[in-house]
Amino acid sequence: MDKRYYTPVELLKIATQHVCCADNILCDIIQERAIETTESDSLQPIISLMYLAFEMTLRAYLSHVQRPVKQAKNLSELLELNRDLVFSNQDMQLLKALSRQYAFRKGIDYEQWENSQQFQIFCRQIITLYEQLQQMMPLELQHDYQ
């Protein structure tokens, strides 16, 4: 069985699809919330999608400027490898909170949010941060260039 590694552009396309799905889920949840209260559990898929989108985007950038990252790396390790990308302290706090929230897949809840509204705000902020990350990408990797 042969295997091939995705190109940086292919990785970015997949990551963008993840973000679009996360955004659609969040919009649906916000519309539902107008009718009834939303449980925080319904926001977990957004966290999974966004975490993977950030991972794939950071891998794409590394692959574009250096070499493909073949070994498994978590989000914080990928951020360290991508020193060319400059994030503010607030952005780094959001990414750290994303990593903590993603720990749910291991059965861990850091109880970062007092209510689902705070969690929804965080989800919106992390989607916005991803959009900012897209603007940091080299011109060759930006959607408009293709």
The domain ranges of the chain are 8-141
Side-chain-side CA neighbours of residue 33 (13 Å): 16
Q: What is the pLDDT of residue 85?
A: 87
What are the strands, taking DSSP E only, across 39-130?
none
Given this model, what pLDDT does residue 68 score? 64
pLDDT class for 144, splitting at 50, 70, 90? low
With 0-12 / 13-18 / 19 or more C-beta atoms within 10 angstroms meaning exposed / middle / buried, residue 146 is exposed
pTM, rounded to two decimals: 0.89
User: How many Cα atoms sit within 13 Å of 109 on the Cβ side?
Assistant: 7
Instruction: Give the mean pLDDT of 93-114.
Output: 89
> Using an 8 Å Cβ cutoff, are 101 and 109 in contact?
no
**pLDDT value of residue 107:** 83
pLDDT at 127 over 90: yes
Q: Sorting pLDDT into bands at 50, 70 and 90, what band is 63? A: confident
The percentage of the chain sitting over the pLDDT mark of 70, rounded to a whole number, equals: 88
- Asked if the model's pLDDT at residue 117 lies above 70, the reply is yes
Among 37-41, 106-110, 116-120, 128-132, the range with the most confident prediction by mean pLDDT is 128-132
If one compares 91 and 112, the residue with the highest pLDDT of the two is 91
Instruction: Count the neighbouring beta carbons within 10 Å of the beta carbon of residue 123.
Output: 23
Tell me 138's DSSP state: -
pLDDT band for 145, please (50, 70, 90 cuts): low
pLDDT value of residue 51: 97
CATH of 8-141 given 1.20.58, 1.20.120, 3.40.50, 1.10.3470:
1.20.120
* Average predicted confidence (pLDDT) for the chain: 86
